[in-house]
Amino acid sequence: MQTPLGPSLQLILSLADVFAELSVRGLTAAWERWIGPQRFERKLAQFARVGWLEDVHGTASTERIIRLTAAGRRAALGGRDPEACWRRPWDGRWRLVLFDVPETQRALRQRLRQKLRALGFGYLQNSAWISPDPVEALKDAIGTVNVDVETLSFLEARPGGGETDAQLVLGAWDFRRINRDYEVYGDILQSAPTRVSSRRAWRNWFDVEWRAWCRAVRSDPLLPEALLPQGYRGRDVWQRRTARLRGLLQPG
């Protein structure tokens, strides 16, 4: 079940994400300050139903505390958790997907390309796509489609012609564009309204911020730390985003 996220719903998830646990009272205060005095208990209940939110504790005599589930955290971050992706280990082997789907199977070819991009594969040359991760997820995504070895192949390899891993990374992914997306997002983050700005200004900013963040993180393969190229902007911008959202719950 998918729940559409608007700027106000995203505010709940984003604020909950930067804290291990969050009091509903504190969330209510932030909501009313930035969005307006709207009731949102039904929204919290909706998040709980789809498995994004859970109560840590809360009774008539204690303050209600909530936190995001793992699925809720991914939703709050645009579908992937950058920290978890950067921390994942790498065994030093590249996974290659080679395919040459004939013109008569154009739909299958397009489906494969979309799956590869969604799984963070990089386009190296011709029909060669690479990833530092196992290809089991891609095999599962393809499902029962019948493809033979002359059409689609899955390989594991290491550079054998003097190429470095860093060169493969820069050849397979356009990190200049990825960094530009993060720079655009960073400018938006820097342009957040002041505390005395209107609620409408804040609602508009939350919407722009969320869309820009999704655009940046979805263009990024979020490679393991060992493979991040020099000058990569993602981690710095991520830290700035976390600090900005955390600051939204500060009094003032």
Q: What is the pLDDT of residues 181-209, one digit of tens each?
A: 999 999 999 998 887 778 788 878 888 88
Taking alpha carbons only, the member of 136, 221, 110 closest to residue 172 is 221
Instruction: Evaluate whether 96 touches 155 at the Cβ level (below 8 Å).
Output: yes
Confidence (pTM)? 0.80
CA distances from 159 to 50, 93, 156 (A): 43, 9, 10
What is the pLDDT, as a whole number, of residue 232? 97
The C-alpha R_g of the chain, in whole angstroms, comes to 21
* Tens digit of each residue's pLDDT (9 = 90 or more) over 156-167: 888 888 889 999
Residue 44 and residue 52: Cα distance in Å, rounded? 9
- CB-CB neighbours of 75 under 10 Å: 23
Q: Is the pLDDT of residue 176 over 70?
A: yes
d(CA 151, CA 98): 8
Q: Cα 47 to the chain's mean position, in Å?
A: 18
Q: Domains in the chain and their CATH numbers? A: 7-76 (1.10.10), 94-157 (3.30.70.240), 174-247 (no CATH)
For residues 88-120, b (16+ Cβ closer than 10 Å) or e, as one string? Answer: eeeeeebbbbebebeeeeeebbeebbebbeebb
